[in-house]
Amino acid sequence: MATYRLDTGKKYIKEIYASDCFYNIPEYQRPYVWGEEQINALLEDITSTMEQSKDKEYFLGCMIWNTKKIKSNEVEYTCQDILDGQQRFISIYILQGVIRDLSENSDLKSKVRERMKQKADPFEGTPERNRIEFEIRNDKAFLELCVIEDNGTTDEVTINKIIKDKDTGTSSRNMALAVLYMRSWWRNKFSSLKSNEERQKYINNFYSFLSTKVLALYLATPDNLDDAYNLFTVLNSRGIQLRVSDILRAQNLREINDDRQRREYAKLWEKYENGIASPYKSFDDFLWSIVYIKMKYSSDDNQSLNKAFNFMYDKNYLKKGKETFDLVGRYVEHFKSVTQESLQENEYGLFFLNLNYILTSTFGNSYIAPLMHYKECFGEYRIADFILKLDNLLSVIWLTSSRNSQFRIFTMLRKMDDAKKEVQNQYQAADSFLKEPIFDYGYQDAKAFTAVDINLFYNMLDVEKWGSFNGTRSNKTRYVLLKLDLIVSSPYTQLSYNKSFSSIEHLMPQKIDPKYWSVDENEYKEWLHRLGNIVLIDRKKNSSLSNSSYDTKKTRYQSAIESRANTNNIFIQYKSWDIDTIKKNHQRSLQLLKEYYEGNSLQTLILIRKKLSNNIKY
């Protein structure tokens, strides 16, 4: 890159969007992601600078371009691939459309049209062309309809439909939101101005300031794809905030020489990103699972995501280009399958869906990597058996605060690969893997301490004051109560849980009303927060039920039969509630959980449910 001359300088907004300037968002760029906070900050900063002094300039930042010569319909023109500054560039582009639709000045409206789109001139051979194009993203249609078209930004009905449409891409959705954020900001600004005349004068002054006093520094590389990819990649080490997934996409696109295929994979990568959701917090978070699945150990080689992928490339664990894209794509599909679909709806009903739901809601994402890899190795065959064993093992480790889950997971991943290699028949390989002692709680690996004490877990279930947990620790209580819901529910009951609407209820309340409760103080303190006295209920009911009598709670909660199986079981089984009842329910809960964890199989779950359906009490 050092052998190429870089063009540098400064440009005002009027020059950036001049009649001879055209821009392209290349395939290696991330989506448009600015939100309300960034947009409001930009508008406030520009406004504050303008109101301080109309002669003062506002520095927008640095934009980095790769200059290319494009030939279209026998007409050659210069286009800038935007390497850095996309978020600011698109935001200013949209802002001009919003200003045009708020202004009553015909000259301003005409100027905005010119800056957004080149008008066709058949006498000079000039084609109609937008100032900004997208290499792969389907954002052009949104801009044409809601930004470039006169009064497009005022059509909030259409804009909201685009936002709510599940098929809308990330960039288009965020741009649609940007229009609404900008219009909201301007409504607030206009509310402080007394007359329409003042408002129109203000917006004219603002657009004049934006055009002539807002500037950006620019750095442009000559037309060279390697140059562009290199500069894009090193931006991360220069303080530009890029995700590792952005860098990874750029590195791998560079390895694909065919232009058409490169564009297709760039489109697919954006589709991959849109396919990842909770319990992952980001696409980078998901890519860590790929690292663990491929490397199967933790060391200095994978202390950072970028370092881990570079190490895998250097060691030939993975090849850059098509192989990386295909691998990520497969696991994205596995992720969607194991988290968004109800697999194995047979005699086990909605078990897989419900257990996955519990884990996603309370546990985190560490269980996803082995679950995805199981599907990669064995498909859906006996996947419900696997998630049950996986969950039981990881939950015991988590609830007892042990620290050996990661090593167990790495061992599982290796044993899956071994079973797949050693037994060619997929079903037999899965059967062989599911018999591995790795699922035993007391399994001891030769290389590290991996055993967990199941009796310690049972004792914890018994003596822990689960109802006293708060903050993130309360997820453990929710998990245990949801697990009871899962065990005692009917096969086709779909569990529900929402942190905004569900809560942990003490059946004997935390504040005793003598009208309803008579209890020994010492026993009350001992049993208040124990497992036998707590259930999950809907928070709306909880606010009015907290200190009520048991009979009132029982009557008011009868409508929640399906969604809270364990709670309903308690209300059906116990006619009154006191310390003795709490002890009975406590033992019932412990016995259910102990039998389920000891059996560690779907057959055990079926047996428990048969007992319950035959009114055999625990």
**Interval 341-396: pLDDT, tens:** 766 666 678 899 999 999 998 998 999 999 999 999 999 999 999 999 999 999 99
- Of 401, 421, 452, the one marking the end of a domain is 452
**Residue 100 and residue 109 in contact, taking contact as beta carbons nearer than 8 Å:** yes
Question: Could you tell me the pLDDT band of residue 219, with boundaries at 50, 70 and 90?
Answer: confident
Question: For residue 295, is pLDDT > 90?
Answer: yes
Q: Work out whether the CA dihedral 136, 139, 144, 145 comes out positive or negative.
A: positive
Give the mean pLDDT of 294-311.
90
> Which residues on neighbouring strands pair with residue 219, listed in sequence order?
8, 64
In the three-class reduction of DSSP (H, G, I as helix; E, B as strand; rest coil), residue 452 is classed as: coil
Same domain, 287 and 429: yes
Chain segment 315-338, per-residue pLDDT in tens: 999 999 999 999 999 999 999 999
Chain segment 466-519, per-residue pLDDT in tens: 999 998 899 999 999 999 999 999 888 888 877 776 788 899 988 887 777 888
The answer to whether residue 429 sits within a structural domain is: yes
State what percent of residues in the chain have pLDDT above 70: 92
- Of 238, 270, 298, the one marking the end of a domain is 238
Question: For residue 99, is pLDDT > 90?
Answer: yes
> Which residues on neighbouring strands pair with residue 69, listed in sequence order?
78
Give the mean pLDDT of 109-119.
95
The answer to whether residue 403 sits within a structural domain is: yes
Chain segment 158-168, per-residue pLDDT in tens: 999 999 998 88
Same domain, 368 and 421: yes
Same domain, 150 and 40: yes
Question: For residue 433, is pLDDT > 80?
Answer: yes
The answer to whether residue 259 sits within a structural domain is: no
The answer to whether residue 271 sits within a structural domain is: no
Same domain, 439 and 486: no
The answer to whether residue 165 sits within a structural domain is: yes
Retrieve residue 580's tokens.
């003795």
Residue 387's CB is within 10 A of a number of other CB atoms, namely 23
Alpha carbon distances (Å) from 293 to 233, 312, 603: 25, 12, 29
Nearest to 115 by CA among 215, 181, 210, 20: 20
Give the mean pLDDT of 28-47.
92
Same domain, 441 and 552: no
pLDDT at 70: 83
Question: Could you tell me the pLDDT band of residue 123, with boundaries at 50, 70 and 90?
Answer: confident
Alpha carbon distances (Å) from 317 to 373, 527, 594: 16, 54, 42
Chain segment 235-291, per-residue pLDDT in tens: 544 444 567 888 888 889 989 989 889 889 988 998 899 889 889 999 999 999 999
The answer to whether residue 257 sits within a structural domain is: no
Helix-strand-coil percent breakdown of the chain, rounded to 5?
60, 10, 30
Average pLDDT, the chain: 89
Same domain, 199 and 300: no
Q: How many domains does the chain divide into? A: 3
Same domain, 11 and 132: yes
In the three-class reduction of DSSP (H, G, I as helix; E, B as strand; rest coil), residue 439 is classed as: helix
Same domain, 502 and 441: no
Instruction: Provide the residue range defining the domain that includes 502.
Output: 475-613
pLDDT at 340: 79
Chain segment 223-248, per-residue pLDDT in tens: 776 666 666 666 544 444 567 888 88
Residues 6+ away with beta carbon under 8 Å from 71: none
Global pTM reads: 0.77
Residue 373's CB is within 10 A of a number of other CB atoms, namely 24
pLDDT at 2: 44
First to last CA, the chain: 73
**Alpha carbon 277 to chain centroid distance?**
4
Same domain, 412 and 524: no
Q: Work out whether the CA dihedral 71, 75, 76, 77 comes out positive or negative.
A: negative
Give the mean pLDDT of 177-191.
96
Q: Rounded CA gap, 80 and 26, in Å?
A: 10
The answer to whether residue 185 sits within a structural domain is: yes
Chain segment 575-588, per-residue pLDDT in tens: 889 999 999 999 99
Give the mean pLDDT of 88-109.
97
The answer to whether residue 512 sits within a structural domain is: yes
